[in-house]
Amino acid sequence: MAELRRKLERLATAEVPLLIQGESGTGKEVICRFIHSRSPWSGGPFVKVNCPAIPGTLLESELFGYEKGAFTGAYGNKPGRVESAQDGTLFLDEISELDGSLQAKLLQVLQDGQFFKLGAQKEAAIKARVICATNRDLEEEVQVGNFRADLFYRINVVKLSLPSLRERRPCAHISLICSARSSTPLRRRSAPACCQCWRLITGRAISESWKT
C-alpha cells in the first residue's frame, strides 16, 4: 500500500493531464480527489463535471459559460465549470460522452489554455489541471470515430487503469484514501463514500501507462 500511495503522490505532483479508466464503481472520483489534495493545485477549487448527467443542449454553456444576450434567457454573464476551475483541478467524468463540437473546444483549452464563452467576442484564459475519467476504451472509440484522436492524445499523457471490482481481493488495509486530507472526519462520512474508499484501496495494484 505504501508503494501505491507513493505512485499516486508522484502523479499528483506531475502537472500534466491524467486519464483514469475503469468500470463504474471502481473509485475514479476518489482517486481524482486524492490526487488533487496532494497536488500543487490543492489550494484551488476541485470542479467536477458529470458529462452524461447534463443534457447535450446545456453542456456547452455549463462547461464554458456565457455572456449576457448570448441566447434567449441569458440575462447576465455566467461563468462555466472550466472558468470556475481556475488554479485548481477540472475533473471531467465520463468524457467519452462529449459530442464532437465540445471535444474540439476542450482540445483548445488543453492546447492553448484559451476558450470562448457563448456570445463572447474575445477568448478567456484558464490555468488548471485537467483530469478525465471514462468507463470506455477510448482507443476503440477513436477507431470507430466517436472520439477525436488529437484530444485522446492530449488527455492520455498519463493513464491509470483501475481493476474491476470482480478482479479485487479482500485486504486488511483501509488507510490510503481515507487518510487523505479532508475536512470531513472518517467517522462522519457517508457509508457509500467509505465503501468506495474500501473498494478502491483493497484492490490489486493500479496499473500505470506512461506516455512521453
30, 102, 121, 142, 197 from 61: Cα distances, Å: 26, 10, 15, 25, 33
> Which pLDDT band, with edges at 50, 70 and 90, does 195 fall under?
very low
> In the chain, pLDDT over 70 holds for what percent of residues?
76
Q: Which of 25-34, 36-45, 64-73 has the lowest mean pLDDT?
A: 64-73
> Which tens digit of pLDDT belongs to each residue from 99-148?
998 999 999 999 999 999 988 889 999 999 999 999 999 999 999 999 99
> Which tens digit of pLDDT belongs to each residue from 148-161?
999 999 999 999 88
The predicted model scores a pTM of 0.77
